[in-house]
Amino acid sequence: MKERALIADLLAPIATHPAARGLTDDAAVLVPPLGRDIVLTHDMLAEGVHFLGDEPPEDIAHKLVAVNLSDLAAMGARPLGVLLGLGLSARQDDAWLAAFTAGLGEACTCWSAPLLGGDTIAGLDRLVLALTAIGQVAPGAALSRSGARAGDDLWVTGNIGDAMLGLAVARGGHADAAPEVRAALFARYRRPEPRLAFGAALAGIASACMDVSDGLLIDAQRLAEASGIAITVDLARLPVSRAAEAIAAAPIVLATGGDDYELLFAAPRGNSHAVADAARRTRTRVTRIGTISTGAGLTVRDASGADVTPGRLGWEH
């Protein structure tokens, strides 16, 4: 399919927001909400690096949008729209493109992040996807990684480690687990959910926030470093799903897995009720998993209080 046809037949029909100008101009023109700060993030995903390549195209589109919106969620921002960079190889035929753009349109609609523009190129050896997400937040209210203070608690949303187990399932692992267990884990890997509503509710409550993409422990270490404080993670408190429990995955392993896209955040002790209230309003599971103190670095403790900090904390790029 020629770029022109791809834009006219598949992308323009889902780019219905007025800012997209029907994808006919050189750029999108957005009238931003007055007086709000603009939040901008950009992520690339490549076949063979971030996904296997033989996933359903809808799932690839979902993940591309989700991982970018997860960055907005980590800043406490609400989406305004996305720009797509679509780098195609010869293997993406018309059927693939139709399925991918359908999945993209669904994800954009689901999370109120309209497609505003972008670029498509062809002739690559493998699929390379880029997405830019634009969001908005109240002036000065954007969260950061650097605001955690000694005495704050460390919290995390959802369950940790399911995506890692889901990737193993996708590769044929955990073959002896019950089908519903395998399906639940696989779904979490295929369809990460950006914590947009909860992230937005955290603005003004959390002192620091980031999304967990490379592993809870390595990301906690990064938060500690950015904030100039020490973090202690209480491994016994790690929130795990029933599916992860069913296959008896070790918490220390789950805490080093990637692709969770949960929010890891710090909040002053006095805001604990506000955190719980935000979680209730947005129907989000939150768990207090650690403490923040003066010093530096990450310590992981087990139920007995012993230091069980592993050598490898997660994915390093």
- Shorter beta-carbon distance to its own copies: residue 130 or 201: 130
Please work out the total of residues on this chain that contact its own copies, with binding judged by CB under 8 A: 69
237: which 2 tokens?
């408190």
Of the candidate residues 119, 180, 245, 302, the single one contacting its own copies (CB under 8 A): 119
Q: Is 146 in the site for its own copies (CB under 8 A)?
A: yes
Q: Is 30 in the site for its own copies (CB under 8 A)?
A: yes
281: which 2 tokens?
């309003």
Q: Is 71 in the site for its own copies (CB under 8 A)?
A: yes
- Shorter beta-carbon distance to its own copies: residue 273 or 317: 317
**DSSP of 203-217, one letter per residue?**
TTT-SEEEEESS-HH
Mark the segment that binds its own copies (CB under 8 A) among 104-112, 113-121, 155-163, 297-305: 113-121
Q: Is 12 in the site for its own copies (CB under 8 A)?
A: no
Q: How far apart are CA 190 and CA 240, in angstroms?
A: 18
Mark the segment that binds its own copies (CB under 8 A) among 28-36, 164-172, 185-193, 302-310: 28-36
DSSP type of residue 11: I
Q: Is 132 in the site for its own copies (CB under 8 A)?
A: yes
Q: How far apart are CA 236 and CA 106, in angstroms?
A: 38
Question: In the range 173-232, which residues lie near its own copies by CB under 8 A?
Answer: 210-211, 226
Mark the segment that binds its own copies (CB under 8 A) among 125-133, 157-165, 252-260, 289-297: 125-133
Q: How far apart are CA 59 and CA 177, in angstroms?
A: 23
Mark the segment that binds its own copies (CB under 8 A) among 95-103, 139-147, 240-248, 249-257: 139-147
Phi (first) and psi of residue 69, to 5 degrees: -70, -25
Q: Is 273 in the site for its own copies (CB under 8 A)?
A: no
Q: Is 50 in the site for its own copies (CB under 8 A)?
A: yes
Using H for helix, E for strand and C for coil, what is the string for 83-138? EEEEEEECCCCHHHHHHHHHHHHHHHHHCCCCEEEEEEEEEECCCEEEEEEEEEEC
Mark the segment that binds its own copies (CB under 8 A) among 85-93, 178-186, 270-278, 302-310: 85-93
300-312 in b/e form (b: 16+ CB < 10 A) is bbeeeeeeebeee
**DSSP of 258-274, one letter per residue?**
----EEEEEE-GGGHHH
DSSP type of residue 167: H
Which residues contribute to the site for its own copies (CB under 8 A)? 2-4, 19, 21, 24-32, 34-35, 37-46, 48-50, 70-72, 74-75, 77, 81, 83-87, 116-126, 128, 130, 132-135, 137, 139, 142, 144-146, 210-211, 226, 316-317
